Structure 1
Amino acid sequence: MDTLRPGPRLRLRLRKPTETRRPVQSRSHIWIPWAVIGLWVALVALAVPFAGKLGGATTDQQVDYLPASAQSTQVARILDGMPGGGTTDLVLVYQRAGGLTAADRTVAQDRAAALDRQLDLVGPAPRTIAGKDGRTLMIPVSVAQSAGDGKKVVDDVRTQVAQDRHDGLTVRVGGSGALAADMDNTYGSIDGLLLVVTVAVVAVLLIATYRSPLLWLLPLVCTGVAAVAAMAVAYLLTRLSGLTVNTMSSAVMTVLVFGAGTDYALLLIARYREELHTTEHTYQAMLHALRRTGPAVATSAGTVVAGLTVLLLADMNSTRAIGPTGAVGVLCALAAMTTLLPAVLVLLGRRMFWPLVPDYGTRPAARHGMYHRIGALVTRRRVVTLVTGLVVLGALALGTLNLSGRLRQEDAFTQRPESVTAMQELAAAFPGQSSQPITVLAHAPDARSVAAEARSTPGVAEVTTGRSARGWTELGVTAVGQPESPAETATIERLRTTLGDRGLVGGESAQRIDTDDTTGRDQTVVIPLVLAAVFLLLALLLRSLVAPLVLLGAVVVVWVAALGLGGLVFGPLFGFVGNDPSLPQLSFVFLVALGVDYGIFLLHRMREERAVLPALTATGGVIASAGVVLAATFSVLTVLPLVSMVELGFVIAVGVLLDTFLVRSFLVPAAALLLGRRLWWPGRESAPAPAPSEQPAGRRNGNMRRGDDRGLGFGTGRSDEAGAGRPRERKA
Structure 2
Amino acid sequence: MKRIMKSLKKIVQFSSSKKGAKWVIFFWIVFMILLSFTAPSSKEYASNSSESSISGKMPSEIAQDLYEEEYPSDDGLTALLVFHREGGLKVEDREKITSFSEWLTTDDKPEAFSSVLPFHQFNESIQNQMFSKDQSTLIINASLKENIDSDVANQAFDSLRNQFTRMGATDIQFEITGPAGISADTVTLFKNADFVLMITTILLIFFLLMVIYRSPIIAIIPVIIALIAYGVIDRILGIAGKWDWFTVDSASISIMLVLLFAVITDYSLFIFSRYRSELKKYPSHYEAMHHAATPLAEPIFFSGGTILMAMLTLFFTVFKPYNHFAPVFAVAVILILLAGLTLIPSMFALFGRKAFWPFIPQMDAADTNKHPFWEKASQLIVTYPKRMAVLLLIIFGLSAYQFSTISPSYNLLKSFPEDLSSRVGFEILEENYPAGQLAPLTVLVHQDQIATNNVAENVASLQALAKSIEETEGISTISPSITDEMVSAQVSLPKGFQSDSLNSFSFQIILDDHPYEQSSMDTVESLLQQKDELMKNAGFDSEETQLYLIGQTAKLVDIQSMNQRDTIVLITLVTLLLIGLLSIQTKSFKLAFLMVATILLSYFASLGFSWLIFKYLLGLDAISYRIPVYTFVFMVALGIDYNIMLLARIKERAKEVEWIQAVKEGVTLTGGVISSAGVILAATFAVLITQPLQELYLFGMTMAIGILLDTFVVRGFLLPTLLVWTTKKRKITFNCEDTLKK
Alignment TM-score, normalising by the size of structure 1:
0.83
Whichever residue aligns with residue 58 of structure 2, its letter is A
Look up the SS of the partner of 1:173 in the other structure.
Answer: strand
1:612 pairs with 2:663: yes
> Root-mean-square deviation (CA), in Å?
3.4
Pick aligned residue for 1:306 from 287, 306, 309 = 309
**Pairing 1:636–2:687 present:** yes
Q: Is contact 1:63-1:73 (8 Å) kept?
A: no
1:685/1:419 Cα in 2 relative to 1: closer, same or farther (>3 Å)? same
2-structure distance, mates of 1:378, 1:208: 29
For the 8 Å contact 1:62–1:511, the answer to whether it is kept is no
Q: CA 1:165–1:462 in 2, change beyond 3 Å: closer, same or farther?
A: farther
Question: Any gaps of 5 or more consecutive residues in structure 1?
Answer: 1-24, 689-711, 714-732
What secondary structure does 2:232 align onto? helix
2:36 equivalent to 1:48? yes
> 2:384 and 2:233 mapped to 1: Cα distance?
46
Cα distance in 2 between the residues matched to 1:362 and 1:159: 70
User: Does 660-669 or 120-129 show the bigger shift?
Assistant: 120-129
* C-alpha distance 667-165 of structure 1, shift in aligned 2 (>3 A): farther
Code of the residue aligned with 1:483 in structure 2: it is P
Relative distance call for 1:242 and 1:30 in structure 2 (3 A) is: closer
From the superposition, tell whether residues 474 and 625 of structure 1 become closer, same or farther in structure 2 (CA, over 3 Å). farther
Deviations 1:147-167 (A, max 9, x none): 774333333333333446647
**Residue correspondence of structure 1 range 49-68 to structure 2 within 5 A:** 49=37, 52-60=40-48, 62-63=50-51, 67-68=55-56
- Structure 1 275/79 Cα, relative in aligned 2: closer, same or farther at 3 Å? farther
Q: What does residue 138 of structure 1 align with?
A: 139
User: How do residues 301-340 of structure 1 correspond to structure 2 at under 5 angstroms?
Assistant: 301-340=304-343
Matches within 5 A, 1:397-436: 397-431=400-434, 433-436=436-439
Residues 270-279 or 431-440, more deviating: 431-440
**% same residue:** 26
How much has 1:346 moved relative to structure 2? 2.1
Aligned counterparts of 1:629 and 1:51: Cα–Cα separation in 2: 32
2:725 corresponds to 1:674: yes
Question: How far apart are 1:375 and its partner, in Å?
Answer: 0.7
2: CA distance, partners of 1:264 / 1:220: 12
Match in the other structure for 2:624:
580
Separation of aligned partners in 2, 1:469 and 1:50: 52
For residues 374 and 442 of structure 1, the distance between their equivalents in structure 2, rounded to whole angstroms, comes to: 68
Take 1:237 and 1:684, find their aligned partners in 2: how far apart are those partners?
Answer: 49
Partner letter of residue 383 of structure 2? R
Deviations 1:632-678 (A, max 9, x none): 11111122111211222122211111010011111111111112278
Other-structure match for 1:461? 478
Task: Check 1:135–1:679 CA distance in 2 against 1; reply closer, same or farther (3 A cut).
Answer: farther
**1:179 partner letter:** I
Structure-2 separation of matches of 1:470 and 1:257: 54
1:127-161 per-residue CA deviation (whole Å, 9 max, x = no partner) reads: 64021123222223333327774333333333333
Paired residues of 2:50 and 2:321 also in contact (CA < 8 A): no
In structure 2, the residue corresponding to 1:62 is in which secondary structure? Answer: coil
Q: Does 1:601 align with 2:602?
A: no
Q: Which moved more, 1:470-479 or 1:262-271?
A: 470-479
Are 2:542 and 1:542 aligned?
Answer: no
Q: Does 1:30 align with 2:18?
A: yes
Cα distance, 1:472–1:562 mapped onto 2, change above 3 Å: farther
Q: Deviations over 1:323-379 (max 9, x none)?
A: 222232222222123212222222222122122222234332373511101111222
Q: Displacement of 1:544 after TM fit? A: 0.6
What amino acid does structure 1 have at the position aligned with 2:717? Answer: F
In structure 2, do the counterparts of structure 1 residues 29 and 541 end up closer, same or farther at CA, with 3 Å as the change threshold?
Answer: closer
Alignment map for 1:225-244 (pairs within 5 Å): 225-240=228-243, 242-244=245-247
Displacement of 1:311: 0.9
> Does residue 155 in structure 1 map to residue 187 in structure 2?
no
Contact 1:50–1:231 (CA under 8 A) maintained in structure 2: no
Is 1:489 equivalent to 2:521 in the alignment? Answer: yes
Q: 1:53 to 1:242 in 2, by over 3 A?
A: same
SS at match of 2:625: coil
- Structure 2's unaligned 5+ residue stretches are 1-12, 481-494, 536-541, 655-661
C-alpha separation in 2, matches of 1:210 and 1:466:
72
Cα distance in 2 for partners of 1:58, 1:65 equals 19
Q: Tell me, in whole angstroms, the C-alpha distance in 2 between the residues paired with 1:595 and 1:472.
A: 56
CA displacement 1:300-320 (0-9 Å, x = unmatched) = 111111111111100012101
- Alignment partners' CA distance in 2, 1:505 and 1:46: 52
Is 1:592 matched with 2:643? no
- Contact (CA 8 Å) 2:444, 2:547: kept in 1 or not? yes
Per the normalisation by structure 2, the TM-score is 0.82
The equivalent of 1:719 in structure 2 is none
Q: By how many angstroms is 1:680 displaced?
A: 13
Matched to 2:713, the amino acid is L
- 8 Å contact kept, 1:88–1:177: yes
Equivalent residue number for residue 556 of structure 2:
512
Instruction: Work out whether residues 276 and 285 of structure 1, in 8 Å CA contact, stay in contact via their aligned partners in 2.
Output: yes
What CA distance in whole angstroms lies between the structure 2 residues aligned with 1:402 and 1:38?
Answer: 53
Match of 1:556 in 2: 600
What SS does structure 1 have at the residue aligned with 2:721?
A: helix
- Check whether the contact 1:397–1:560 (CA below 8 A) recurs between aligned residues: yes
Deviation at 1:239, TM superposition (A): 4.4
- Conservation of the 8 A alpha-carbon contact between 1:58 and 1:246: yes
The alpha carbon displacement at 1:547 in A equals 0.8
3-state secondary structure, aligned to 1:88? strand
Q: In the aligned structure 2, how far is the partner of 1:92 from the partner of 1:208?
A: 52
Of 54, 69, 76, which aligns to 2:57? 69
Aligned partners of 2:522, 2:159: CA distance in 1, in Å? 35
What is the identity, as a one-letter code, of the residue corresponding to 1:461?
A: I
User: Which digits, 9 at most, give the CA deviation of each residue in 1:511-545, with x for residues without a partner?
Assistant: 33322211111112121110010111111111111
**SS of corresponding position for 1:360:** coil
Q: Structure 1 residues 422 and 595 mapped into 2: Cα distance closer, same or farther (>3 Å)?
A: same
2:219 is the alignment partner of 1:216:
yes
Are residue 257 (structure 1) and residue 308 (structure 2) matched? no
Change (3 A) 1:396 1:487: closer
8 Å CA contact 1:680–1:686 kept in 2: the answer is no
Letter of the aligned partner of 2:648 in structure 1?
Answer: H
> Secondary structure at the residue paired with 1:514?
helix
- Does the 8 Å contact 1:544/1:680 carry over to 2? no
Are residues 37 and 146 of structure 1, via their aligned partners in 2, closer, same or farther at CA, if it must alter by over 3 Å?
closer
Q: Distance in 1 between matches of 2:583 and 2:734?
A: 13
Which stretch has the larger CA shift, 387-396 or 442-451?
A: 442-451
C-alpha displacement at 1:598, in angstroms?
0.7
* Equivalent residue, structure 1, for 2:7: none
CA 1:583–1:452: 2 relative to 1, 3 Å: same
1:578 Cα deviation from its structure 2 partner: 2.2
